[in-house]
Structure 1
Amino acid sequence: MNAQSHPGHPWRRTFTSVPRSVGAARRAVRGALLAHGVAPDTADTVVLVVSELAANAVRHGRVPGRLFEVRIGLDGEKEITVEVSDAGETYPVLGEADAEAETGRGLVLVAALAAAWGVRDRQIGKTVWARVGR
């Protein structure tokens, strides 16, 4: 796992595209947010968003031999931007999960917690982003 930073995103890390990396991403993001002075309740919300987007990257965006990347951007006291990028070509769709379904609620949760969210193309794959208020 490689931790780096660049303008606009003070924290960035890549993860192998396997289920156990979702937990690793949650722990790493929480630590980074708390180290940057983000309130614990806000960090919890951001970690939940990261968890859902990372799980989607592993489940739906996995390409053998490719990693997924998580980036966190801090916009002063206003908001935190989460970006999860993967090499998959399938775009997420906000839908309604059946009451008995065990999956399909991730983006519904992200949409409920985030002020905004969306998807953009990358040279390879896509980036799913969300903005969470502080």
Structure 2
Amino acid sequence: MASTTTHETETVDRLRPSWRPVASTTGDPSYAGVLQRDARAAEDARKMVEMVLAVWHLDKLLGDDLKLVASELVSNAARHARGSVVRIAVTRTARYRVRVAITDKSRDVPQLQVGDPLAETGRGLRLVDALSTNWGVVPYPWGKQVWAEVTAPC
């Protein structure tokens, strides 16, 4: 019997990203899901946003900006949070405005950094700030939610 390598085991044990339509607290259309908190989380978030925007026929208007915002928020959570998963919600808050929210188990509030232009990291939240119409943090006793809204130019 062949032995399984560690890499193969990690691939098998990785949760497949899942998302589904949910009832949001505001009554707006929303999709939510759970992503594994690992190096592929940003890719999974981009795929989810791409699928949701296609369902809402907003992929041409908001696609690139919202995918980048989701990717940056999930990357931050994957790098800095605790636990093995993060929650993602994509909510249509207006006709041409979509909110992406990432909930994790870290109470550390992200801060805008003065980025070193030569550094490979540290500019993600600056990108979120530049591409979104609004963003913020909702603290919880056990963690936080970081959200950003992107509005299509009309």
Q: How does the TM-score come out when normalised to structure 1?
A: 0.90
State the superposition RMSD in angstroms: 1.5
Distance in 2 separating the partners of 1:116 and 1:76? 13
Q: Runs of 4+ in structure 1 displaced over 4 angstroms?
A: none
Distance in 1 separating the partners of 2:87 and 2:41? 11
Residue 30, structure 1, aligned to residue 50, structure 2: yes
Distance in 1 separating the partners of 2:18 and 2:47? 15
Gapped runs of 5+ residues in structure 1?
none
Q: Could you say which residue in structure 2 is the equivalent of 1:3?
A: 19
Deviation at residue 39 of structure 1 after TM alignment? 3.5
Q: How does the TM-score come out when normalised to structure 2?
A: 0.79
Deviation at residue 123 of structure 1 after TM alignment? 4.1
Greater gyration radius: 2
Partners of 1:18 and 1:58 within 8 A in 2? yes
Q: Could you say which residue in structure 1 is the equivalent of 2:70?
A: 50
Report the number of matched residues.
Answer: 132
> Which of 1 and 2 has higher RCO (CA within 8 Å, sep 6+)?
1
Gapped runs of 5+ residues in structure 2?
1-16
* 1:2 partner amino acid: S
Q: Could you say which residue in structure 1 is the equivalent of 2:88?
A: 70
Deviations 1:32-89 (A, max 9, x none): 111111132412110000000000000011x13x410111111232411111111112
Identity of aligned residues (%): 30
Deviations 1:95-120 (A, max 9, x none): 11112111000000000001111101
Moved more, 25-34 or 106-115: 25-34
